[in-house]
Amino acid sequence: MLLAPGLLAVGFAIHPPEPKSGAQLLEVISINAGRWNAAHILFCVSMVLSIPAVLGLIRLLGQRGAWFGLIGGMLTATGVVFFSTFIGVELAMSAIASVPVEVQPRAESAMQALVSFYGPLPAVFVGLSFNLGVVALVIGSFITRAIPRWASVLIAGSSLVLIGGVFSNPIGALGAALMLVGLGTVGLRLLKAPLLVGSETDRE
C-alpha cells in the first residue's frame, strides 16, 4: 500500500514527454532511453505490488463488503493484466528506438502502429478497469467504515485523477501522490495493528 503508489508516482515523474507522432516518439525515446526504461520498470513493479495492496483492501472489507470486494477484485485484476500488457509494449518501443540511425526512418511506421488506436492502445482503456475496481473497493470501505472515511474519499478521488495519467504524466504523478497519502495511511495502520477491523475505525 506504500510502495505501489510511491513507485507509480516516481515513474510518472521521470517519464519523458510522450508525443502522439511515431516519428517524434522515436526521437524522444532515443534521447531519453534510460528514463523511458526506468519509468516503465517502475510501472511494472508498481502493478505487481498493487495486487497485495488490493487484497489488503478486500480483507478489510470482510463479509460486510463481500460484494464490493468481489466486484472490485475482478475489475482490478483485469486492469493489472491489460496495463501490464501495454507497459510491456512500451518497453519494446525502446528496442525499436535503439536501431541504427539509418534504419530509423523505416522504424517510424512500426512506432506509429504501436501508438495508434488500431494497435495495442485499446489495452490502456480496458486497463482503466483497475481504477474503477479501486473505486468500488473504497466505496465499500466508506459504507462499512472498514477504513477512515476521509481515506476512502481520497483514494477514490486519486483513482479518478490517475485516469488523466493516460494523457499527462504530471496528472498521473499527482494522482499517484494522492493515492500514496490515502492508501499509505491505511497501510501504516495495518503495520501498526495487523488485526485492524472496522469497529476500531468506528470509534474514531
Is the full-model pTM beyond 0.85? no
pLDDT digits (tens, 9 = 90+) for 40-70: 999 999 999 999 999 999 988 888 888 999 9
Q: pLDDT band for 13, please (50, 70, 90 cuts).
A: very high
Range of the domain at 22: 3-202
Q: Which among 70, 175, 189, 67 is positioned nearest to 131, based on CA atoms?
A: 175
Cα–Cα distance, 144 to 7 (Å, whole number):
29
What's the number of CA atoms in the CB half-sphere (13 Å) around residue 119? 15
54 vs 21, 59, 159, CA distance in Å?
Answer: 35, 9, 13
User: Mean pLDDT across the chain, nearest whole number?
Assistant: 85
Q: How many domains does the chain have?
A: 1
- Tally the residues of the chain: 204
pLDDT digits (tens, 9 = 90+) for 78-113: 999 998 888 888 888 888 777 766 666 667 777 777
What pLDDT does 102 receive? 66
pLDDT digits (tens, 9 = 90+) for 146-168: 888 999 999 999 999 999 988 88
Q: Which of residues 121 and 166 earns the better pLDDT score?
A: 166
